[in-house]
């Protein structure tokens, strides 16, 4: 099996890449109609946001799996339907080509119970499968693997910064903590998402201001974050010394320090994602806040490479996000398990 069509369906975008046997990008598009003129793939790999507790590795999609994925929609109502729409559309186009689901939550299933468990009644945790799942796992897995190859580091923190944003603590190639939790709303300040807020605030808004749970959720998801702080969700339009930038950087730096605790130290820090790769000002400001951990950068604005300052104890890198490579890797592994189908 050589050629893999990678389908990455986000909440507001669709990215399609056809990768050859050596992972060379043969075709790329953002419209499914274009795929009809491409060479037929040997397999299709899909990014699926949520795998719940059942799916901890890439899996060949069959009717049972497809039904199970649909049942997980309640855990990621903004993202899962788009992923499944992409799965169905491409499966209709290539009905005889095996499809593999690769999960954003899977990389984080190795997080220890101490980091994954919420301090809420056991009956809630068990009945509703409530735990810290984490997301962006495909990006964190690929990024941390690349950092380990380049540096030999064992204790790594990866920062996936884009419209959505999260950090991951990686120890010896395994996720041991992350900033997103039961939903992708927890953690860092994002483009339109608030990140972590006091749960008491949510209760106060519903009880004292009469806002419905739906109104609160919509506001925290779509009208908060950088948009609420600066009037724009585009970091490129935000002044480097503004309150919005200060809040954004503060949350990232504080969370990197927290992730370092989970990893038992910090040997390498890697930035990836649209902001992580392109916003040198963010990397520099975060590094300044983390000087006490040995982080220092000499950042010339590179979008791919090392930016570690001379004599810094922690190596800092910029790694292009290549979720497509991680999906192709997972797709081939899943098909190998199923006898090369």
Task: Report the alpha-carbon distance of residue 111 to residue 256 in Å, rounded.
Answer: 16
Q: Which of 23, 42, 62, 104 is catalytic?
A: 104
DSSP 106: G
Distance, in Å, from the CA atom of 201 to the CA atom of 170, rounded to the nearest integer, reads 32
Cα 172 versus chain centre, distance: 19
- Which of 17, 22, 9 is closest to 49 using CA atoms? 9
- Judge whether 88 counts as a catalytic residue: no
Q: What distance in Å separates the CA atoms of residue 48 and residue 164, rounded to the nearest whole number? A: 16
Q: How far apart are CA 52 and CA 67, in angstroms?
A: 13
Residue 17 backbone phi and psi in degrees, to 5: -140, 140
Residue 46's H or E segment, with its range, is strand 43-48
d(CA 321, CA 318): 9
Residues with catalytic function: 104
């Amino acid at each position: 099996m050589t050629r893999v069509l990678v389908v990455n369906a986000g909440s507001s975008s669709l990215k399609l890449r056809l990768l050859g046997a050596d992972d060379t990008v043969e075709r790329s598009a953002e419209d499914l109609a274009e795929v009809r003129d491409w060479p037929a793939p040997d397999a299709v790999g899909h990014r699926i946001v949520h795998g719940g507790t059942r799916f901890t590795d890439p899996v060949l999609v069959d009717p049972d799996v497809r039904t199970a994925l649909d049942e997980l929609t309640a855990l990621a109502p903004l993202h899962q339907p788009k992923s499944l729409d992409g799965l169905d559309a491409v499966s209709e186009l290539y009905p005889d080509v095996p499809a593999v689901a690769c999960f954003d939550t899977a990389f984080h299933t190795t997080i220890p119970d101490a980091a994954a468990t919420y301090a809420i009644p056991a009956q809630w945790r068990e009945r509703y499968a409530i735990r810290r799942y984490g997301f962006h796992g495909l990006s964190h897995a690929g990024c941390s693997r690349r950092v380990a190859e380049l540096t030999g580091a064992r204790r790594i923190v990866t920062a996936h910064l884009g419209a959505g944003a999260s950090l991951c603590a990686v120890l010896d190639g395994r996720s041991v903590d992350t900033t997103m939790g039961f939903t992708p709303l927890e953690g860092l300040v994002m483009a339109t998402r608030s990140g972590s807020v006091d749960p008491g605030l949510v209760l106060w808004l519903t009880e004292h201001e009469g806002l419905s749970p739906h109104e609160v959720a919509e506001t925290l998801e779509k009208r908060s974050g950088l948009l609420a702080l600066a009037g724009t969700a585009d970091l490129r339009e935000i002044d480097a010394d503004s309150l919005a930038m200060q809040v954004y950087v503060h949350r990232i730096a504080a969370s990197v320090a927290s992730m370092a605790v989970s990893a038992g130290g910090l040997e390498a820090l890697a930035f990836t994602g649209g902001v992580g790769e392109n916003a040198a000002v963010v990397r520099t400001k975060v590094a300044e806040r983390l000087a006490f951990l040995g982080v220092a950068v000499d950042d010339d604005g590179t979008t791919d490479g090392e930016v570690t300052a001379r004599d810094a104890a922690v190596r800092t890198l910029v790694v292009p996000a290549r979720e497509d490579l991680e999906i192709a890797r997972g797709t081939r592994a899943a098909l190998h398990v199923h006898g090369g189908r």
